[in-house]
Amino acid sequence: MIMMKVNLAKLSGRLVFVSMLVLTNPAGAEVKVDSAFGDHMVLQREMQVPVWGTGTPDEKVPVSFHGQAKAGTVDKAGKWMIRLDALKPGAPAELTVKGDNTITLQDVLVGEVWLGRGSEAYQTLGWAGLFLCVAAPAGHSVRHLRRGLGPGRVQH
């Protein structure tokens, strides 16, 4: 058995420094959208719609949807946000976010979005807890997201 005398203060300082390098190294970082955004989502009509996420500081983030093109810049904290102009209901479209990588969200609709809470009457329908209902444009299916008291599930 070999015993070594180690200066813990020096060692811990070096570990902290190496950890900081690993955690703050932007190599391999990519633009991301917040988990609130995804395929088959519905955006509220007739109002500005924020779109946000994370990325590498100072990275340009162009966002396009329904003929609009907006761009933002990732701040020093690694966050970005743009606001789409008021949207009109229409056919499903792709929402594209670009940076060092590209994210394309498919089948995005614009319509009415309501948040509700199920009561005892709704429990018999399996709607206990919070739910989100969406009125889609004519000719498109109504979409809803249910988060019940048990495991949540998404239905389109």
- Sign of the CA dihedral running 42, 44, 48, 54: negative
Per-position pLDDT tens, the chain of length 156: 344 444 444 444 443 333 343 344 444 479 999 988 999 888 989 999 999 999 999 999 999 999 999 999 999 999 999 999 999 988 889 999 999 999 999 999 888 877 666 555 555 555 555 555 555 556 666 665 555 544 444 444
- In degrees and rounded to multiples of 5, residue 9 shows phi and psi of -65, -45
Residue 41's pLDDT is 86
Q: What is the pTM of this model?
A: 0.66
10 Å CB burial of residue 21 (0-12, 13-18, 19+) is exposed
The DSSP result for 15-36, as a single string, is HHHHHHHHHH--TT---EE-TT
Rounded Cα distance, 32 and 55, in Å:
6
The DSSP result for 42-71, as a single string, is EEESSS-EEEEEE-STT-EEEEEETTEEEE
Residue 120's pLDDT is 56
The DSSP result for 66-109, as a single string, is TTEEEEEE--TTSEEEEEEPP----S-EEEEEESSSEEEEEEEE
Domains, the chain, with CATH or none: 32-155 (2.60.40.10)
Q: Which residues contact 151 (CB under 8 A, 6 or more apart)?
A: none
Residue 13 tokens read as 């300082």
